[in-house]
Amino acid sequence: MKPSSSAAPASNQVIDTHCHIASLDFIPPEFVDGIVSNIELALDSQGVRAAASKVREVYLAKLQDPLCDELVSEMDGAEIDHAVLLAPDFTYALKGSRLTIEEILLHHKTVYERHQGRFSVFAGVDPRWGKDGIDLFERSIRDFGFHGLKVYPPCGFPGSDPQLYPYYEICARWHVPVLVHIGGTCPALAFDTASPVQLDEAARNFPRVNFILAHGSVSYVEECAMMCSFRPNVYLDVSGFQTAELVALEQLLRRGFKHKVLFGTDWPLFRLQGSQNECLAKLKAEGGPLEQLRNHELRAFFGGTVAKLLGTRSDPTQR
């Protein structure tokens, strides 16, 4: 039975295109270790010699929201109506994962149903799981009411890997989008498969599937801009902007595809930089990167465009 909340959000809502559940059940220890090590190095370079245990303690405390109650509270405080929950599959590449990918997706279903109307979910399944993975992904769309596919190339496959094509075929049948990680990640994973141009073949072969390049205003910005400019079915989100100079985002929004740029935060990975409300304030600050946008462009950036992408979902058995 499909969840009753499978309808897409309204185009006038504020939608965070890029969030995750804050839980160590879904973020393997190898991933956390790499993030903590980089935080320690950054603090050390600034002359802040924080003890490793303290950095870890503070960071891990930000990853204790398995039912997304804190996330919803932060969304309310920031007047964010809806968020896309992404469930990347690290279980094949990182062996420290606590749960199977099926267990992870079932938990996302629980959260989805707990907070009616607040989330859409993109399921990630490593393509190397074979037919079992393909069947699980289609089940998540058909039976759970999920709204898309999350692809994580640093786990060891490019975005145009033929093993992903059965997943893209499902997305084409159900008219749901694909969000693809772009750029660096934790040191335990590969970076050489995470370039946006490695998605180009798939974008050409699946013109009816909409692809979203995650972190497109932070990583491979020129390549992401090229893809958005010349591929009608390619968009980007700005998640990770908290760690970058906002001048890159400002320049990106001066290009001819600003209608394809989507708001996203990557919660909870940057919670040390502030709450959802503080993230929004940084974007909306006077003289900030959004000041150049007109009202209709702001509405598109903050939710209108991604609402349209989510709103295309339809059951192929009912056509």
Assess whether 266 and 202 both reside in one domain.
Answer: yes
Assess whether 242 and 211 both reside in one domain.
Answer: yes
pLDDT at 50 (0 to 100): 59
- The answer to whether 199 and 166 are in contact (CB under 8 A) is no
Assess whether 203 and 225 both reside in one domain.
Answer: yes
Assess whether 119 and 43 both reside in one domain.
Answer: no
What are the pLDDT digits (tens) for 162-171? Answer: 999 999 999 9
Indicate if the pLDDT at residue 1 is higher than 50: no
Beta bridge partners of 23: 64
Query: How many domains does the chain contain in total?
Result: 2
Assess whether 211 and 83 both reside in one domain.
Answer: yes
Assess whether 85 and 96 both reside in one domain.
Answer: yes
- Rounded Cα–Cα distance for residues 11 and 6 (Å): 15
- The answer to whether 170 and 137 are in contact (CB under 8 A) is yes
pLDDT at 53 (0 to 100): 64
Q: What percent of the chain has pLDDT over 70?
A: 96
Token pair, residue 221, equals 């910005």
Indicate if the pLDDT at residue 260 is higher than 90: yes
> Within a domain: residue 115?
yes
Is the entire prediction scored with pTM above 0.85? yes
Assess whether 170 and 39 both reside in one domain.
Answer: no
- Rounded Cα–Cα distance for residues 97 and 110 (Å): 19
DSSP string computed for the chain: ---TT-SPPPTTS-EEEEE--EETTTS-HHHHHHHHHHHHHHHHHTT----HHHHHHHHHHTTEETT-HHHHHHHHHHT--EEEEEE---TTT-TT-SS-HHHHHHHHHHHHHHSTTTEEEEE---GGGTHHHHHHHHHHHHTT---EEEE-GGGT--TT-GGGHHHHHHHHHHT--EEE--S---TTS-STT--GGGGHHHHHH-TTS-EEETTTTTSSHHHHHHHHHH-TTEEEE-TTGGGS-HHHHHHHTTSTTGGGEE----BTTTGGG--HHHHHHHHHSTTSTTTT--HHHHHIIIIIHHHHHHTT---GGG-
> Within a domain: residue 7?
no
> Within a domain: residue 170?
yes
Bridging pattern class, strands 22-23 and 64-65: antiparallel
Assess whether 203 and 297 both reside in one domain.
Answer: yes
- Residue 52's domain spans which residues? 29-62
Task: CATH number of the domain at 210, please.
Answer: 3.20.20.140
Assess whether 89 and 47 both reside in one domain.
Answer: no
pLDDT at 4 (0 to 100): 44
Assess whether 193 and 225 both reside in one domain.
Answer: yes
What are the pLDDT digits (tens) for 33-92? Answer: 888 888 777 777 777 665 656 778 888 898 999 999 999 999 999 999 999 999 999 999
Once rounded to an integer, what is the mean pLDDT over residues 172-187? 96
Assess whether 278 and 207 both reside in one domain.
Answer: yes
> Within a domain: residue 192?
yes
- Rounded Cα–Cα distance for residues 1 and 15 (Å): 26
Indicate if the pLDDT at residue 159 is higher than 60: yes
Assess whether 102 and 214 both reside in one domain.
Answer: yes
> Within a domain: residue 219?
yes
> Within a domain: residue 1?
no
> Within a domain: residue 2?
no
54-63, 64-73, 141-150, 280-289: range with lowest mean pLDDT: 54-63
Report the b/e string of 239-274 with b at 16+ CB within 10 A: bbbbeeebeebbebbeeebbebbbbbbbbbbbbeee
Indicate if the pLDDT at residue 2 is higher than 70: no
Q: Beta-carbon neighbour count of residue 178 at 10 Å?
A: 24
What are the pLDDT digits (tens) for 209-227? Answer: 999 999 999 999 999 999 9
> Within a domain: residue 6?
no
pLDDT at 51 (0 to 100): 62
